Copies of this chain bind each other. A is one copy, B any other.
Amino acid sequence: MREKLVFEISKKGRVGVSLPRCDVPEEEPERLIPERCLRKDLPLPELSEPEIIRHFTRLSQLNYAVDTGFYPLGSCTMKYNPRVNEEIASLPGLARLHPYQPEELCQGALRLMYELGEYLAQIGGMDAVTLQPAAGAHGELTGMLIIRAYFLSKGQKRHKVIIPDSAHGTNPASAALCGYQAVEVKSDKKGCVDIGELNKLVDDDVAAIMLTNPNTLGLFEGNILEIAAIVHRAGGLLYCDGANLNALLGVARPGDMGFDLLHFNLHKTFSTPHGGGGPGSGPLGVKKALAPFLPVPLVVKQGKRYLLNYNCLLSIGKVRSFYGNFGVLVKAYAYLLSLGSEGLRQVAENAVLNANYLMNRFKDHYHLPYDRICKHEFVLSGARQKKRGIRALDIAKRLIDYGFHPPTIYFPLIVNEALMIEPTETESRQTLDRFADALIKIAGEDVKTLKSAPHHTPVGRLDEAAAAREPNLRWKK
């Protein structure tokens, strides 16, 4: 069931789409464009429409997806993507709009953005929100730029951003991209920021601390109020990576904990599908003091009209063209409306319940480095199995044989042979049990079976070393 490349299917003379005849004078391009600017050859493939549909349909079938099975990929919040959101996002009145069409002809779109911003502010405990960032990491970058602009406006140039050792790679990368020095703070035995360490690191050169809360171990930073006090006292800001907000919806708000900035991952918490890697959307919420620095334009309401306000003197400018991933925003907006405030809390409650239930089933079979109530996810260690020569990777691959997507592995970095499991609220207990049964069974399986897994996939384990050594990044004749 493997599939050729489109280039290998291509045959000279085939066409894949019918185009309109030219109804204006058919002038030779040479008359309109200097010959030297015209391309001689366009080496694109040639396929008929049936071949195209069949090719990509068959490719699709080689994928695992939330719609085909359990996807407990920690940190990614692979929850069910409601169908009605897709239907709504494809309505011509919402999908087929030019970003520069006159304001009076996009009041519906602006209203949607305005309201979504308000709802997100509510949920996160923030004062103002920009919907412009295209993903979580983009939100982080935007946040870093805002922090920088904020201090500059106060005549300060701070250089450091503190980031826990358990943080996602985007956090240090975003800080660095913005010229900050990323300073690592260690986690304590309980898996949270080591307060002693933190105290030592914080000084008046610290622009901010970036925290994920619950953190990447799935644990709530219980000392968050203390952390906030420490950082704020030194004049620094608190940035919250909201990737794990699913655990807190309607239960607690980062804004109330002292966070000054917070990005939302709409493609995680707010159920917009991940599309095989994107598009996402990473709106950023900030406290009032930071609002003047948000990227332009902001959607504002004047009376009953919605406007795009570009007139923000202190703004960092823009982090992408236009207003953000509007099509993704539509889905998140629809999701929020179908939940309402009650539903929102149910999401968090069930996500956390599912995680704890599942974690509990593994206690006797895998090493659980942090044995306490978790939030929406938890991290097992394959340390015991490693003694038998079995790696987290082997366990992951073997899960595929049982029909499951593997968890995130080897992250966070502070856990040996980490298996990071996030069930989400949209899975049933039956599914959790089947998954637990499989993972427990695997814990006892023989090395050979595990090392050779997966066994029923169109390809087996691939030679990644060779791929990196001699990169083959495109087809050639």
Q: Which residues of A pack against B, CB within 8 Å?
A: 1, 9, 11, 18, 48-51, 53-54, 57-58, 61, 66-69, 80, 82-83, 338, 403, 426-428, 430
Contact = CB atoms under 8 A, between A and B. Distances in A.
A117 B126 CA distance: 62
B82 A49 contact: yes
A245 B121 CA distance: 63
Contacts of A1: 403
Name the prevailing secondary structure of the A interface residues: loop
A9 B429 CA distance: 11
A54 B68 contact: yes
Contacts of A49: 80, 82-83
A428 B61 contact: no
Contact of A57 (B50, B68, B82): B68
Given A68-B57, A68-B61, A50 B426 contact: yes
Contacts of A430: 9, 11
Closest 6 CB pairs of A and B: A50-B80, A50-B426, A57-B67, A53-B67, A57-B68, A54-B67
A305 to B, nearest CB: 28
Contact of A53 (B57, B80, B403): B80
Given A50-B80, A54-B66, 10 more contacts: A9-B430, A11-B428, A48-B426, A48-B428, A50-B427, A51-B428, A53-B67, A53-B83, A54-B69, A58-B68
A58 B67 CA distance: 8
Contacts of A428: 11, 48, 51
A131 to B, nearest CB: 26
A11 B53 CA distance: 38
